[in-house]
Structure 1
Amino acid sequence: MTEVLNEAIADYEQKLFWQTVNEQVERTQREDPAGWADYLAEREAIMGQPSDRIAPEWEGLIKFPEERNEANKR
């Protein structure tokens, strides 16, 4: 029983963590577009274009934050 509770708590904490991360990213995109653009430029300089770092068989299955943002402009 304790193991089940520990797993449930760990799952909840992980979901809460990623929910918080997503909210912070969305807030940065909304409130600091220049800072977000700087972040994307720096990330691209280090990692390359999203299509350069993803295996072809995954192409189109993963949406990067900048792709989601372009599709859902407000």
Structure 2
Amino acid sequence: MAVKLRLTKIGRKHAPYYRIVAIDSQKARDGKPVEILGNYSPIVNPPLWSVNFDRIQYWLSNGATMSDKVKALLKQTERPGIE
């Protein structure tokens, strides 16, 4: 099972709200995740998001890959070691 860290949409139309999840790369965008790692709300200014960095490090050390959007979100943090 190839695990990928990516966003899944849970918000309604015109009010997006996303979860950062670890999910099998073969599943659909809104499929059942292996684990929920955080939240991201782009509506508020500045965007609101919370992330469990310890679990992200765990998944990355076990071979998970990140989507481009998740990688861009995590680069905005000041946490070293997450690229």
TM-score by length of 2: 0.29
**Higher Cα Rg: structure 1 or 2?**
1
| Structure with the higher strand share, 1 or 2 | 2
The higher relative CO (CA closer than 8 Å, separation ≥ 6) is in 2
Give 1 or 2: higher helix fraction: 1
